């Protein structure tokens, strides 16, 4: 299974690596403007996760349906689902555009952002979410392509998006300036828009990326929606929604927990907000092996279920779980060793560096444990089992992280370190719950009965 796993995982890993690199550069380039600018950008980042995760959850329904269709050899059925994905992108994209535009002024207030930077954070949020339709296309169409085993196309579009974002950042954030290169002065033009320039660069890049992924999907030989009906088809949407709705509620509830978590951290002040934002940015790079493997796990598990191949599904599980743990041990070790150096890339503030390094080294120890639930959840998504992960994730988020952080910050008067301690407790609970569920075998529907695609087996 290892060559197959890596062939699907490495493009997703590279794509996420590029996204993280851009996030690093975004944070670093804005960080030059000062701690207030970093805090303004990071203060609403968890709302970004909330919206992005909800849309990603919807796409999981299509991933399960399409990967199982391909495994069963039903390519026309998969193409019908692609047509329904187009309809979903239009509806969801328009809905979130209206929602984010309407709430742009209120979000920083709800997030308890320092009053001195609320206006800046609001303007950043408004510009960033203007192209919501294109962002939705990027997420859902990318997942549709991955469901048929094409992880390279989303990677290529993602790399192009990130390069555009970096270049535009360079010209939109800073004012026109003169630099000395090889003894000669060179005038570099710039808009000087600061934080708003970073948002505008991302918005333009999202728009180009959304158009590009749509064109790629339209021309794809295996999953093109060309010629398919774009009217609602209950035969396709019902099984997709059966998988997507629990996953959507899970991601919405956990992302809402991230919002509540960040809101409590924002109440600790500008230094804590900046340290938290930078530490989150740094940490995201070290989750890349985990989420790359999750994509491969979901696609291959769906294929195996569609083909009624229980041996293949169990072989996948036995190969990918220990592989995931090994990769996360390496990433966690690197994060622990280089934490202070990485924080210094984004801030020269001594307090921010000290605080950010401390919380990063704390979470580095839990990385291998967190990798296990990531990949097990991926396999469960592929086989359409999304209710149990919903229960586990919501219980961990609200029962451990949010409740614990509220007690530590508001009742005990503790700071950022205690909040990240609660986050680690949340990750450890997920490790225990998903590991027990994995060894019970209940995650695999073929362990109980022989399952044929499309839910029922008829006998004459």
Residue 204 CA to residue 201 CA, distance in Å, equals 5
**Lookup: tokens for 254:** 């956990």
Domain ranges of the chain: 2-446
Residue 158 CA to residue 142 CA, distance in Å, equals 9
Sites in the chain below the pLDDT cut of 50? 449-460
What's the CA angle centered on 224, arms 154 and 304, to 5 degrees? 70
In the prediction, which pLDDT does 116 show?
83
Cβ–Cβ < 8 Å for 240, 78: no
Alpha-carbon distances of 204 from 17, 25, 216, 408, rounded to whole Å: 20, 17, 19, 41
CA 123 to chain CA centroid, Å, is: 23
In the prediction, which pLDDT does 129 show?
87
In the prediction, which pLDDT does 457 show?
40
In the prediction, which pLDDT does 159 show?
85
State pLDDT tens for residues 170-211.
899 888 888 777 778 888 888 888 888 988 998 999 999 999
In the prediction, which pLDDT does 453 show?
40
In the prediction, which pLDDT does 15 show?
66
In the prediction, which pLDDT does 36 show?
77
Of 34, 20, 33, 35, residue with least CA distance to 274:
35
What letters, b where the CB count within 10 A reaches 16 and e where it falls short, cover 81-110? bbbbbbbbbeebbeebbeebeeebeebbee
In the prediction, which pLDDT does 23 show?
61
Q: Check: pTM over 0.85? Answer yes or no.
A: no
In the prediction, which pLDDT does 454 show?
42
What's the CA angle centered on 357, arms 352 and 360, to 5 degrees? 125
State pLDDT tens for residues 370-407.
889 999 998 998 888 889 999 999 999 999 999 999 99
């Amino acid at each position: 299974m290892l060559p197959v796993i890596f062939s699907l995982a490495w493009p997703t890993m590279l794509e996420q690596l590029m996204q993280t690199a851009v996030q690093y550069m975004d944070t670093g380039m804005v960080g030059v403007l000062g701690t207030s600018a970093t805090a303004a950008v990071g203060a609403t980042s968890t709302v970004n996760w909330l919206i992005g995760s909800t849309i990603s959850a919807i796409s999981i329904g299509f991933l399960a349906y399409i990967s199982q269709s391909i495994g069963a050899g039903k390519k026309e059925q998969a193409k019908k689902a692609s047509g329904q994905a187009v309809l979903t992108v239009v509806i969801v994209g328009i809905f979130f555009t209206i929602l984010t535009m309407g709430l742009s002024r209120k979000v920083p207030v709800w997030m308890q952002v320092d009053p001195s930077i609320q206006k800046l954070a609001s303007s950043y949020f408004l510009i960033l979410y203007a192209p919501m339709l294109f962002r939705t296309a990027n997420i859902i169409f990318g997942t549709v392509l991955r469901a048929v085993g094409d992880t390279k196309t989303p990677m290529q579009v993602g790399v192009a998006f990130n390069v555009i974002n970096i270049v535009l950042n360079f010209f939109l954030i800073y004012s026109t300036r003169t630099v000395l290169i090889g003894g000669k002065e060179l005038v570099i033009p710039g808009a000087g828009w600061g934080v708003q320039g970073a948002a505008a660069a991302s918005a333009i890049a999202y728009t180009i990326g959304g158009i590009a992924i749509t064109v790629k999907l339209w021309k794809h030989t295996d999953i093109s929606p060309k010629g398919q009906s774009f009217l609602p088809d209950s035969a396709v949407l019902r099984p997709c929604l059966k998988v997507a709705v629990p996953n959507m509620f899970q991601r919405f509830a956990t992302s809402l927990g991230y919002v509540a978590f960040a809101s409590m951290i924002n109440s600790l002040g500008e230094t804590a907000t900046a340290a938290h934002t930078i530490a989150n940015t740094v940490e995201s790079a070290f989750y890349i092996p985990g989420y790359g493997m999750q994509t491969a796990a979901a696609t291959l598990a769906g294929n195996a279920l569609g083909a009624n191949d229980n041996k293949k599904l169990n072989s996948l599980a036995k190969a990918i779980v220990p592989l995931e743990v090994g990769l996360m041990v390496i990433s966690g070790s690197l994060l622990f060793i280089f934490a202070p150096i990485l924080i210094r890339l984004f801030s020269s503030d001594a307090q921010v560096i000290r605080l950010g390094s401390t919380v990063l080294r704390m979470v580095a120890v839990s990385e291998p444990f967190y990798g296990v639930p990531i990949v097990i959840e991926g396999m469960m998504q592929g086989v359409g089992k999304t209710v149990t992960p919903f229960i586990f994730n919501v219980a961990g988020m609200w029962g451990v992280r949010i409740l614990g952080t509220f007690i530590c910050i508001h009742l005990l008067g503790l700071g950022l370190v205690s909040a990240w301690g609660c986050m680690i407790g949340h990750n450890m609970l997920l490790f225990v719950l998903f590991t027990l569920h994995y060894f019970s075998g209940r995650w695999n529907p073929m362990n109980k009965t022989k399952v044929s695609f499309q839910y029922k087996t008829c006998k004459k």
